[in-house]
Every structure is written in C-alpha cells, then in structure tokens.
Amino acid sequence: MVQESSAGDAAMAQSRLQLISGIPLLVVNQACVSLGRSLVERGPIPQKAAVDALHIAVATVHGMDYLLNVEL
C-alpha cells in the first residue's frame, strides 16, 4: 500500500501517504508469498494481476474481513 501510494505526482503521493498514515501495515511473510504464488500458478488469477494475488493473499493470511460496498 505504501509503495503504490508513493507513486506518481509528488504532491498527490504526499497527500495519499498522509491519508493512510494511521492504517496499520500487515506483514508480507512467506505464507503470503506462497499463497499469492499459488493463486497465480493454479490459474484463478492471471500473471498480469500477480500484485492483486499478493494483496488477496496478505488479507487472507492475516484474517482480514471486509465488505466492499462501493461501485468500481
């Protein structure tokens, strides 16, 4: 999250970093990496979305529970 928020226009990046400053960070451990890799290798998530697979894996390994109630 920090790496993605830091990208792009410097002023906008600073604004994004301030917005997320109070959010606890989750550790990307070996279990996260292994699960993310499995999601790509076994086919549910394509290689081009490997970063998304890692996001899903981190949330899963750390037991994050959320509902997405927005239109994308």
CB 55 within 8 A of CB 26: no
What is the model's pLDDT at position 26? 93
- Determine the Cα–Cα distance for residues 56 and 19; give it in Å rounded to an integer: 22
What is the value of pTM for the model shown? Answer: 0.72
**Tokens found for residue 55:** 């996001």
Q: d(Cα 46, Cα 6) in Å, to the nearest integer? A: 25
Output the six-digit token pair for 67.
């509902």
Question: pLDDT per residue over 19-56, tens digit each?
Answer: 989 888 899 999 999 999 999 999 889 999 999 999 99
DSSP string for 28-50:
--HHHHHHHHHHHHTSSS-GGGH
